[in-house]
Structure 1
Amino acid sequence: MDSQLDVLKALRQTRHDWLNVMQLIKGNLALKRYDRIDEIIDQVTQQSVCESKITEIKADSVVYFLLTYNWFSNKVKLEMDVAGDVFSLEKDEVQLLRLCKQITEKLTEGSSSESENHLLLTFLFTDDECKITFDFQGHLHIEDQEWDEMLADSNVKLVELVENECVIVASFLRS
């Protein structure tokens, strides 16, 4: 029964998201802002391509977390980009899910609800590794040492941390 309810919830959320896109298009059509309509269609297309590519990592719990993240978080908006030839991250699924949850939770806790907060999650696949960049833009109140536990993992690096930006990069080797 839970799986049926999950499917219904996913369908409801997807329908809501598509209705929002249609309202944006309809509003811009009424304003004769055809260039903005093109932008909206391009954004939705790019998002759909990325969502399709991310499912190819074969780490179902990670894919589920990422694809449903915006349904449950209003404080930080997650966007994704996927580049390169995608390969399986199934062997790293537990570690990757833990990392995604830790980073998003810390950014959500440390971000201000008074500002727009965006997290761009980029998966860059090369021949021998996948580099995942967490690039947060918004208003953030986190000290360097708050990341220490997570950064103890040798494949995770804090690249930048300032009031309005936080960049973390993690690497996963191809098996």
Structure 2
Amino acid sequence: MDDSITVAQALRHARHDFLNELQLIQMKLDLGRGQDVKSIIRSRAEAAVQLNRLSALKMPAAEHWLLTAEWRFPEFRFHLECLAQAGITTKDAAFADWLEQFFSSLKEQADTASDISCRTVLKEQQSDFEIGLDLNGNLPDTQLPEVPGLLARKEIAADSLKIIVSAKMEG
């Protein structure tokens, strides 16, 4: 990853995001919108569960990339779901490299005024470990990076792009 983020920068971003969440909660409380506050809390609790699952995969390079993506690529709205129970440590750096190449390329080509969301799902599918990307918005047709040991395929629809990046599980 060329554009690495330091621990201090990550903490600064995290504090900023946390303060924004608190301000949003305070605003909702001031407006008497308790159900909205409960929804925000549920959403943040579920996000914490997903991050714990990600950490349990023992894929530090991919985890680092996924944890800092929203700060390094603010053009995209990321949502993470970790359904996998086991990672693939030998391909960890390859997955992080693939993600970096893909989003760097997409960032250069994308219309920065458009709202692009990316649902990222990590899972085991038969004997493969997969990272699935469901992108929605005004997307350019971008080439998929070729990283040794990984297989990437895509499906293009009118306003969305689905990509699966996979590798054979160890053992």
What interval of TM-score do these two structures reach, taking the shorter chain for normalisation? 0.7 to 0.9
Unaligned runs of 5+ in 1: none
Instruction: Tell whether 2:98 aligns with 1:102.
Output: no
Q: Tell me the equivalent position of 1:150.
A: 146
CA distance in 2, matches of 1:118, 1:73: 11
| Structure 1 residue 152, shift from structure 2 partner | 9.4
Give the C-alpha shift of residue 168 in structure 1.
0.4
Aligned-partner Cα distance in 1 for 2:35–2:57: 34
Question: Cα 1:39–1:101, aligned 2, differ >3 Å: closer, same or farther?
Answer: same
Q: Following the alignment from structure 1 to structure 2, what is the Cα–Cα distance between the partners of residues 39 and 157? A: 35
Structure 2 SS opposite 1:147: coil
> How far 1:130 moved relative to its partner?
2.0
From the superposition, tell whether residues 6 and 95 of structure 1 become closer, same or farther in structure 2 (CA, over 3 Å): closer
Alignment pair present for 1:43 and 2:47: no
Greater shift in the superposed pair: 65-74 or 5-14: 5-14
State the match for 1:122 in structure 2.
121
Runs of 4+ in 1 over 6 A off after TM superposition: 151-154
Verify: 1:165 aligned to 2:160, yes or no: yes
1:116-140 Cα deviation digits (max 9, x unpaired): 1111110123563322111111111
Give a deviation string over 1:136-162, Cα, whole Å, max 9, x none: 1111122xxx4265399772111x224
C-alpha change, 1:99 and 1:35, in structure 2 (3 Å) is: same
| Structure 1 residue aligned with 2:58 | 58
Matching residue of 1:133: 132
Unaligned runs of 5+ in 2: none
- The offset of 1:27, in angstroms, is 0.8
The one-letter code of the counterpart of 2:163 is I
Contact 2:94-2:150 at 8 Å conserved across structures:
no
Q: Partner of 1:150: helix, strand, or coil?
A: coil
TM-score by structure 1 length?
0.83
The aligned residue for residue 74 of structure 2 is: 74
SS at match of 1:13: helix
Q: Secondary structure at the residue paired with 1:119?
A: strand
- Structure 2 length normalisation: TM-score? 0.85
8 Å CA contact retained: 2:150, 2:166: no
Percent of pairs with identical residues: 20
**3-state SS of 1:54 partner:** helix
Q: 1:141–1:163: 8 Å Cα contact kept in structure 2? A: no
